[in-house]
């Protein structure tokens, strides 16, 4: 029997969207299945877009309040959390409209409903009690993830939130407890503290974001504390008690922390529980995630997966590229890019971005390296904009001058890092610290921090020799 489609994609987040668009551009018959009322997935509606929109507005308020020129115009401004959400809603609507046009313009059918497998080529899509049967030669699972919810916490209580439901909070707490100091927890700690809300950030590990370069992690800790965040390391919870008067978090160490609300940010779960994977002999791990090979194919032939549902790195940027690669593999392309060189972008206040190795990794690997730094406070552009917090840090090989790692902390870090990333991608002598020394940068710009950092590193080598 002829299949209705060449490719069916489950989920319209970044991975699903890019998979569908890649397939349609290669003249395949494509449909995308989305259980929500609007396309875009969690990235658009609960994750990347709303949280970054919230952060941007908070950052603008903070800049206004610390600028003496604006102080002459009136008292410092405060913004309620519900008012902040309205700004995010405007961005979400624009994103949904844009993404909807992609499907319309490319004539990709969007099927509304919840999908489950009947067999490896057949999906049953249920919506409002009605069921539709669709078939395809290949399937890409791009269902994303959702916050992990322990069974012993009452997430129905109006004072208990996760990173999805916090976007519906209709009051501004005086103090909020954030359990989990991963990327999401640290970003929301920045947002709430920027609003003047007291924040207690509970970290289950020894330091914040341990995958970062130690110096960058230390800088994040310092500036979160500067914003007023109380950070508690090496703590585990035993109970959460919520009432009309507030929330208390009981820790294994014997402490009891109290606040007006709790935001749970400790882990995520792949959205695979409704797919009926057993019917095709596919099994998710304990976190609901799917294992794939270097072609993004699961253990079931013809069934592929991409995005948060396969775990690391769980970034929208990576998901776009993974979806394209999965679609390419599904149509029979022998070689596809396996996404394993993703830059880190963390939208705290200030933001963080890095690519390549950390000092700890290089030291453990016994690779001889040196460090070049440029402090933002010494750059003219940062002084003009008032964004003087932060630095650019280059790690390079002492013999070849090859760039081994780039770590940036400060305003627009996620933009700045890509200049260095482009040089790191060059082959042979093209990847060298000398590029930044022999290239003329516009002045004043933040990009010239690369020249400053490169000269700092070269001078350190000269001093050693």
Residue 80's pLDDT is what?
84
Calculate the alpha carbon distances from 266 to 23, 99, 157, 212, 270 in Å.
35, 30, 18, 18, 14
The alpha carbon of residue 316 and the mean position of all alpha carbons in its chain are separated, in whole angstroms, by: 6
Q: What is the per-residue pLDDT for 192?
A: 95
pLDDT, tens digit, for every residue of 305-344?
A: 999 999 999 999 999 999 999 999 999 998 889 998 899 9
C-alpha dist (Å) from residue 425 to 167, 273, 436: 38, 39, 14
Distance spanning both ends of the chain, measured CA to CA: 74
Q: Which of 318, 316, 276, 271 lies closest to 290, judged by CA?
A: 271
Q: What is the pLDDT, as a whole number, of residue 69? A: 67
Among residues 245, 215, 216, 218, which one has the least CA distance to residue 233?
218
**Residue 410, SS3 per DSSP:** strand
- Report pLDDT for 442: 95
Residue 63 has a pLDDT of 78
Position 60 scores a pLDDT of: 84
- 249: which strand partners? 240, 257
Q: Enter the DSSP assignment of 252.
A: T
Q: For 253, phi and psi rounded to 5 degrees?
A: -75, -5
Answer yes or no: pTM beyond 0.85.
Answer: yes
Which pLDDT value is given to residue 85?
Answer: 86
d(CA 201, CA 208): 10
Per-residue confidence of the chain (465 residues) as pLDDT tens digits?
557 999 999 999 999 999 999 999 999 999 999 999 889 998 888 888 989 998 988 888 887 777 776 656 666 667 788 888 888 888 999 999 999 999 999 999 999 999 999 999 999 999 998 999 999 999 999 999 999 999 999 999 999 999 999 999 999 999 999 999 999 999 999 999 999 999 999 999 999 999 999 999 999 999 999 999 999 999 999 999 999 999 999 999 999 999 999 999 999 999 999 999 999 999 999 999 999 999 999 999 999 999 999 999 999 999 999 999 999 999 999 888 999 889 999 999 999 999 999 999 999 999 999 999 999 999 999 999 889 999 999 999 999 999 999 999 999 999 999 999 999 999 888 899 999 999 999 999 999 999 999 999 999 987 665
Write down the pLDDT at residue 1.
54
Question: Ramachandran region of residue 209, left (φ > 0), alpha (ψ -120 to 50) or beta?
Answer: left
- The string of DSSP codes covering 122-143 is EEEEEETTEEEEEEEEEEEE--
List CB contacts of 236: < 8 A, sequence separation 6 or more: 204, 251, 252
∠ CA 262-268-274, rounded to 5°: 115
Q: How far apart are CA 351 and CA 376, in angstroms?
A: 13
Quickly list DSSP for 12-36: -SHHHHHHHHHHHHTT--EEEEESS
Which domains does the chain carry? Answer: 5-147+269-330 (3.50.50.60), 160-266 (3.50.50.60), 350-464 (3.30.390.30)
Residues in a beta bridge with 99: none
């Amino acid at each position: 029997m002829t299949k209705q489609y060449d490719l069916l994609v489950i989920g319209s987040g970044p991975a699903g969207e890019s998979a569908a668009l890649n397939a349609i551009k290669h003249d395949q018959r494509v449909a995308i299945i989305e259980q929500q009322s609007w396309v875009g997935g969690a990235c658009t509606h609960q994750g990347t877009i709303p949280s970054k929109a919230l952060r941007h507005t908070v950052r603008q308020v903070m800049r206004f309040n610390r600028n003496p020129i604006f102080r002459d115009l009136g008292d410092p401004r405060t913004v309620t959390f519900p008012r902040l959400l309205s700004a995010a809603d405007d961005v979400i609507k624009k994103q949904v409209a844009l993404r909807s046009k992609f499907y319309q313009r490319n004539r990709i059918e969007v099927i509304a409903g919840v999908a489950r497998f009947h067999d490896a080529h057949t999906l049953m899509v249920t919506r409002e009690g009605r069921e539709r049967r669709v078939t395809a030669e290949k399937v890409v699972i791009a269902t994303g993830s959702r916050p992990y919810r322990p069974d012993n916490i009452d997430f129905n209580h109006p004072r208990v939130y996760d990173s999805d439901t916090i976007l519906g909070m209709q009051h501004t707490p005086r103090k909020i407890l954030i359990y989990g100091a991963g990327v999401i927890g640290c970003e929301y700690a920045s947002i709430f503290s920027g609003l003047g809300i007291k924040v207690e950030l509970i970290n289950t590990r020894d330091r914040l974001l341990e995958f970062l370069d130690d110096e960058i992690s230390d800088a994040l800790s310092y500036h979160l504390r500067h914003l007023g965040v109380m950070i508690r390391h090496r703590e585990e919870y035993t109970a959460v008690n919520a009432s009309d008067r507030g929330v208390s978090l009981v820790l294994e160490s014997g402490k009891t922390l109290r606040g007006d609300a709790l935001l749970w940010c400790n882990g995520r779960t792949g959205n695979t529980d409704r797919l009926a994977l057993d019917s095709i002999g596919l099994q998710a791990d304990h976190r609901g995630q799917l294992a794939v090979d270097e072609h993004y194919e699961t253990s079931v032939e013809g069934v592929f997966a991409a995005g948060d549902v396969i775990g690391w790195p769980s970034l929208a940027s990576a998901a776009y590229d993974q979806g394209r690669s999965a679609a390419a593999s599904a149509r029979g392309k022998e070689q596809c890019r396996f996404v394993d060189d993703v830059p880190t972008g963390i939208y705290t206040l200030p933001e963080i971005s890095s690519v390549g190795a950390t000092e700890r990794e290089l030291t453990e690997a016994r690779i001889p390296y040196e460090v070049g730094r440029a402090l933002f406070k010494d750059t003219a552009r940062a002084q003009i904009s008032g964004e003087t917090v932060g630095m650019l840090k280059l790690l390079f090989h002492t013999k070849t001058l090859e760039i081994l790692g780039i770590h940036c902390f400060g305003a627009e870090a996620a933009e700045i890092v890509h200049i260095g990333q482009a040089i790191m991608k060059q082959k042979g002598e093209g990847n060298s610290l000398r590029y930044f020394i022999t290239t003329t940068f516009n002045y004043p710009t933040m990009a010239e921090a690369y020249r400053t950092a490169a000269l700092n590193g070269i001078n350190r080598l000269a001093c050693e020799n």
